[in-house]
């Protein structure tokens, strides 16, 4: 369990602050994460990595010469927001384009993709390579659905070394993709992990048993077995990975035996002793193996094995020197960067708003205040539901996002903003602070709703209904459909019922109440569904009997908002 923390909500920020203070020779803090504090070659490709905190040394610990140029660092087990990725990418940009590379998780994909679109709109050529090395998370036929775990390092290292060698963006992207194609990983765990302030681990494994096929966000494994001997674990690792040897692979492999947080290095060395022998018996030559903690899962007791199949090009990049806070290889010269910068104060423009829209903005603020309150009341239960087959961070993420939205909305209300401006900026604050899938979804939803309300007219029931429909469409654009066991299962019946009731002449508050009842019933019905998207998908059967956390939180929110509308209509 986590013993040393202050406010759990501030843990990630305080961790980053201390990490930078301890490693200022290699990294400096920027909005959204860290970048190199040393001089990089102008005109080369900037390799930007990232993900949630809780995986140290991933991701900030591998920023430095010879490895990443910057890392966007989200909250614990939550992807960084698009704004964080954008900020880090611009701070690290060297003029040769940007490669974004990260593990394949829904929130990361949403937010990094949005950041890529913004970077391209700003004239910065940007590419993406998503890491998919975890063979337990999907079949080889659906390799694109696999998670990224400790194999992140092989892809990041190859891409960064290619950049240091002066490769073009096209070729850095090619190298990163080839590295991903040639990387396979498999993990196990003996205990779950416990986030700061949590009373229980995200999941548990019975004493004497081992979770097989474990992820790095507390996702339960795909199977359980008795705990083997160290040699038995080595044999499981090697046999499993060699069964999925990539096509056209040679006889040279880089090896990473990775500790997930609580396994002692001495234990890893005992396991590696047998791994090395087994690989030798298979006719393979091991090239510069790594044994230790490279991608962790907070305090989880577990380990993973990664095999990175090498050709001449990939081997040269694997052997290339690097100097970062947590990963060093060879010798590399670095010059400190002049980081003296003028303080930049961003002026926030408030669009002119009519008195009617300012009054509507007050109701919008009360609605956001109510959302934050209902999330606070249910944060533990939302986390418990999410932990059944996911990573258990839904409640915490919704809490961070809603409180950030409330703070932004309060400031804008005092500045005389109209309903559109207040909701847009609140959505941006939600997305930036929450990160993850829920942050991206709620940010998009609030912005879509805001566009229908405007800053001039008093919002009528029809415009609110149209706004909810626009929010629904924005969320459907992320790819989920009814039946996937997501927030969409609760949202679609809510939006459709609301529109039908408004079109039938019902007052907004009455229509909203009927729609909230439909949303609540639909959210409860998700208990009978199997998840088809997100981190819960590989553990679909575990979630039967439990509703989807996103659908449930939406139902709680729209039900509470019925009260706000009745009191302010």
Q: How many CB atoms lie within 10 A of CB 363?
A: 16
Helices (H), 182-264: 230-242
Catalytic site includes residue 217 = yes
217: its two tokens: 């966000």
Segment 450-497, tens digit of pLDDT: 999 999 988 999 999 999 999 999 999 988 899 999 999 999 999 999
* Dihedral sign, Cα of residue 395, residue 399, residue 400, residue 404: positive
Pick the CATH number of 355-568 from 1.10.645.10, 1.10.540.10, 1.25.40.340, 3.30.70.3040: 1.25.40.340
List the catalytic residue out of 69, 114, 217, 394: 217
Helices (H), 282-354: 312-319
Q: How far apart are CA 462 and CA 468, in angstroms?
A: 10
Segment 180-191, tens digit of pLDDT: 999 999 999 999
Evaluate if residue 96 carries a pLDDT over 90: yes
Which of 83-97, 140-154, 443-457, 522-536 is least confident? Answer: 522-536
| Per-residue pLDDT, 160 | 98
Q: How far apart are CA 537 and CA 37, in angstroms?
A: 39
C-alpha closest to that of 58 among 41, 40, 45, 77: 77
| Per-residue pLDDT, 342 | 38
Element (H, E) at 424: helix 419-434
Q: How far apart are CA 273 and CA 479, in angstroms?
A: 45
Task: Report helix, strand or coil for 38.
Answer: strand
Yes or no: say if 33 and 17 are a contact pair by the CB < 8 Å rule. Answer: no
| Per-residue pLDDT, 71 | 98
Place of tokens 């009054």: 359
Segment 387-403, tens digit of pLDDT: 776 667 788 889 999 99
Give 160's Cβ-side CA count (13 Å radius): 30
Overall average pLDDT of the 501-515 stretch: 96
Q: How far apart are CA 112 and CA 85, in angstroms?
A: 6
Evaluate if residue 27 carries a pLDDT over 90: yes
Segment 346-367, tens digit of pLDDT: 445 788 899 999 999 999 999 9
In 3-state terms the chain splits into helix, strand, coil percentages (rounded to 5) of 50, 15, 35
Q: How far apart are CA 393 and CA 381, in angstroms?
A: 11
| Per-residue pLDDT, 345 | 40
CB contact burial 312-332 (16+ within 10 A = b; e otherwise): ebbbebbebebbbbbbbbeeb
Give the residue extent of every domain in the chain.
8-329, 355-568
> Do 8-329 and 355-568 agree at the fold level?
no
C-alpha closest to that of 109 among 156, 135, 62, 145: 145
Q: Which fold has domain 8-329?
A: Rossmann fold (3.40.50)
Report pTM: 0.86
| Per-residue pLDDT, 338 | 61
Distance, C-alpha 361 to centroid of its chain: 31
Place of tokens 């490279």: 294
Residues ≥6 apart with Cβ < 8 Å to 13: none
Q: How far apart are CA 272 and CA 46, in angstroms?
A: 34
Place of tokens 């009373």: 199
């Amino acid at each position: 369990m986590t013993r040393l923390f202050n406010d759990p909500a501030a843990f990630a920020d305080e961790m980053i602050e201390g990490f930078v203070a301890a490693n200022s020779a290699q990294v400096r803090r920027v909005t959204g994460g860290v970048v190199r504090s040393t001089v990089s070659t102008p005109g080369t490709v900037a390799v930007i990595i990232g993900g949630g905190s809780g995986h140290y040394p991933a991701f900030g610990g591998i920023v430095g010469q010879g490895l990443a140029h910057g890392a966007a660092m989200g909250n614990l087990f939550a992807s960084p927001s698009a704004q964080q990725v954008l900020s880090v990418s611009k701070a690290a940009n060297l003029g040769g384009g940007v490669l974004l590379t990260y593990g394949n998780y829904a929130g990361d994909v949403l937010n990094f993709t949005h950041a890529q679109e913004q970077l391209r709109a700003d004239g910065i050529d940007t590419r993406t390579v998503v890491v998919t090395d975890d063979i337990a998370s999907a079949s080889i036929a659906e390799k694109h659905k696999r998670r990224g775990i400790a194999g992140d390092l092989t892809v990041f290292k190859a891409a960064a070394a290619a950049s240091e060698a002066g490769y073009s963006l096209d070729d850095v992207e090619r190298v990163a993709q080839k590295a991903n194609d040639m990387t396979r990983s498999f993990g196990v765990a003996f205990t779950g992990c416990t986030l700061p302030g949590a009373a229980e681990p995200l999941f548990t494994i019975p004493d004497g048993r081992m979770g097989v096929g474990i992820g790095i966000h507390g996702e339960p494994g795909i199977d359980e077995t008795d705990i083997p001997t160290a040699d038995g674990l080595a044999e499981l690792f090697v046999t499993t990975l060699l069964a999925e040897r990539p096509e056209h692979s040679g006889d040279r492999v880089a090896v990473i035996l990775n500790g997930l947080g609580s396994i002692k290095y001495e234990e890893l060395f005992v396991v590696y002793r047998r791994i090395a022998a087994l690989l030798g018996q298979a006719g393979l030559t091991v090239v510069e193996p790594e044994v230790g903690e490279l991608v962790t899962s907070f305090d989880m007791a577990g380990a993973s094995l990664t095999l990175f199949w090498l050709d001449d090009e990939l081997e040269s990049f694997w052997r290339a020197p690097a100097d970062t806070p947590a990963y060093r290889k060879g010798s590399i010269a670095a010059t400190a960067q002049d980081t003296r910068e003028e303080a930049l104060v961003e002026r926030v423009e408030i669009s002119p708003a009519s008195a009617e829209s300012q009054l509507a903005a007050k109701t919008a603020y009360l609605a956001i205040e109510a959302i934050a309150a209902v999330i606070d009341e249910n944060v533990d239960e939302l986390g418990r539901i999410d932990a059944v087959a996911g990573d258990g961070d839904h409640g915490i993420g919704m809490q961070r996002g809603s409180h950030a939205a409330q703070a932004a909305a309060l400031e804008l209300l005092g500045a005389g903003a109209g309903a559109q401006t207040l909701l847009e900026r609140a959505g941006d604050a939600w997305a930036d602070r929450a990160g993850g899938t829920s942050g991206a979804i709620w940010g998009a939803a609030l912005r879509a709703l805001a566009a229908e309300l405007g800053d001039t007219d008093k919002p009528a029931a029809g415009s609110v209904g149209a706004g909810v429909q626009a929010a629904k469409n924005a969320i459907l654009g992320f790819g989920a459909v009814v039946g996937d066991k997501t927030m969409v299962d609760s949202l679609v019946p809510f939006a459709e019922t609301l529109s039908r009731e408004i079109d039938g002449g019902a007052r907004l508050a009455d229509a909203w109440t009927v729609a909230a009842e439909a949303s609540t019933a639909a959210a409860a019905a998700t208990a009978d569904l199997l998840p088809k998207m997100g981190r819960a998908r590989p553990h679909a059967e575990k979630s039967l009997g439990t509703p989807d956390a996103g659908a449930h939180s939406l139902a709680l929110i729209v039900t509470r908002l019925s009260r706000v509308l009745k009191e302010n209509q």
